[in-house]
Structure 1
Amino acid sequence: MSTVAYIKDSEFDSILTSEVPVVVDFTAPWCGPCRKIAPLMDKLAEDYKDRVKVVKIDIDADKATAKNYSIRSIPAVLIFKGGEVVETIVGIAPYDKFTAALEQQL
């Protein structure tokens, strides 16, 4: 079972005010590569649960946020700090790429 919650476009601005870095996984149910990184996002959420917020956005159901950030290929993982994008990882990546990007923000 996934530990990462899906958020809606209407909730997105509120997560940007988070005091901790926020990992946003732009995904879709039909996306095979997205399903491959889903367990990595769950692990990231668990391993960094007190230091990072991890959420998902379904780009089919919530198009506005994906459009605002010019998401053209998924999976796309954006890391936000202080309301700004500080890292973008597109495609399938190993777990250590996500952790290395996060460690730079902690």
Structure 2
Amino acid sequence: MSIKEVTDATFNELTGEGTVIAELGAAWCGPCKMIAPALEEIDQDSDNKISVVQLDVDENPKTAQHYGVMSIPTLLFFKDGELQETTVGFKPKEEILSIAEKLV
């Protein structure tokens, strides 16, 4: 399974069920590229308990604006559609996973 790309139009439907990590970033963002392998591993290794979606803030500004995103990468952690936690900037895989696993 690979990380799903979401848009302003599909964001709510793809973050509405289960535990979801939404990465809001951009193609030109260095820290976003650094965090990508960790998110891929989490998405693949979590036995479908945690899913990961990505949103390009340049192409989908409404969602970024709605969540007050000022810096990228921003990770939004959802449980059944409810925002539970937000982190900004690069985080190691272990830190991301520990936040997400509390929501499973």
TM-score, normalised via structure 2 length: 0.93
The whole-number CA distance in structure 1 between the counterparts of 2:8 and 2:49 is 23
Partner of 2:62: 64
What are the superposed Cα offsets for residues 21-79 of structure 1, whole Å, 9 maximum, x if unpaired? 11100010110110000111101101114111210000000110010000000011110
Check if 1:8 corresponds to 2:7.
yes
The whole-number CA distance in structure 2 between the counterparts of 1:100 and 1:61 is 30
Partner of 2:30: 32
Count of matched residue pairs: 104
When residues 5 and 82 of structure 1 are mapped into structure 2, their CA distance, relative to the original with a 3 A threshold, is: closer
Secondary structure at the aligned position of 2:9 is classed as helix
Secondary structure at the aligned position of 1:9 is classed as coil
The whole-number CA distance in structure 2 between the counterparts of 1:50 and 1:92 is 23
The whole-number CA distance in structure 1 between the counterparts of 2:80 and 2:2 is 23
Check if 1:83 corresponds to 2:77.
no
Secondary structure at the aligned position of 2:10 is classed as helix
The list of structure 1 runs, each at least 4 consecutive aligned residues, that deviate by more than 4 angstroms after superposition, is none
* Structure 1 residue ranges without an equivalent (≥5): none
When residues 10 and 49 of structure 1 are mapped into structure 2, their CA distance, relative to the original with a 3 A threshold, is: farther
Identity of aligned residues (%): 33
The whole-number CA distance in structure 2 between the counterparts of 1:100 and 1:15 is 21
* Structure 2 residue ranges without an equivalent (≥5): none
Greater displacement, 86-95 / 2-11: 2-11
